[in-house]
Amino acid sequence: MWILLSERDTLWSSIGKVKERSGPTALERGVVTRLNLFEAIKLRRSVRDFTREEVSEEEAGRLLEAARWAPSAGNIQPWEFVVVRECERKRRLAEAALDQSFIEEAPVVIVVCADENRSGLGYGSRGVDLYCIQDTAAAVENMLLAACALGLGACWVGAFHEGEVKEALNLPRGIRPLAIIPVGRPAGRTHTPYKRSVNEIVHYEAF
């Protein structure tokens, strides 16, 4: 996957250069440049502050297209996506998510749901309790990386009352909301988060 960035210092300046370069970079000269997938992974941030600029239908569609290409157990693809732009419905989602107001302020909100029945038919209780959650999580990560690729900001929100979200979106039985993703144009700079080193988290052969 490749990312096109045309605005000077967009996202890049928030974390510094990914690797050292001699002389001015193409981005610093205002020229469109490319970042590879590994750099995109490092650039992605949780964005909770958005401008008033709209997110186009085409942009939202590209996020959904990226999400649907995620891997899933048995290729069952148990995900369902609800795209929300109505102010009142976004307000209800924000309230359901413990009054996280930035959800309401985002131009578009995508709620990622799991079809438990679909996973259950293929894998029984393990499909319902585990696989559909893993599958939708993979779809969410694809969506977040795609948002970064488009110069958009997004945040993975998992703290919410599921019953209230179901009611706000009229979700049928067996469709479980697992993530609320507000999407918009980043309004401010983000900080580089601390990440544990590889040596701290990797084990070989056994723990």
* Predicted confidence (pLDDT) per residue in 49-105, tens digit: 999 999 999 999 999 999 999 999 999 999 999 999 999 999 999 999 999 999 999
Higher-pLDDT residue of 177, 8: 177
Residue in 203, 103, 87 with CA at minimum distance from that of residue 158:
103
Residue 29 has pLDDT above 80, yes or no: no
pTM of the model: 0.82
- How far apart are alpha carbons 66 and 4 in whole angstroms? 16
Domains annotated on the chain, with CATH: 1-43 (no CATH), 46-190 (3.40.109.10)
Higher-pLDDT residue of 130, 192: 130
User: Which SS3 state, helix, strand or coil, does residue 127 take?
Assistant: helix
- How far apart are alpha carbons 133 and 93 in whole angstroms? 20
Q: Is the backbone of residue 118 left (phi > 0), alpha (psi -120 to 50) or beta?
A: alpha
Q: Dihedral angle at the C-alpha atoms of 95, 83, 108, 144, nearest 10 degrees?
A: 100
Cβ(142)–Cβ(67) below 8 Å: yes
- Average pLDDT for 179-187: 97
- How far apart are alpha carbons 53 and 153 in whole angstroms? 12
Higher-pLDDT residue of 35, 102: 102
> What is residue 64's predicted lDDT score, i.e. its pLDDT?
98
Query: Facing residues of 180 across strands?
Result: 111, 157
> What is residue 26's predicted lDDT score, i.e. its pLDDT?
37
Type of residue found at 89? R
- Average pLDDT for 160-166: 98
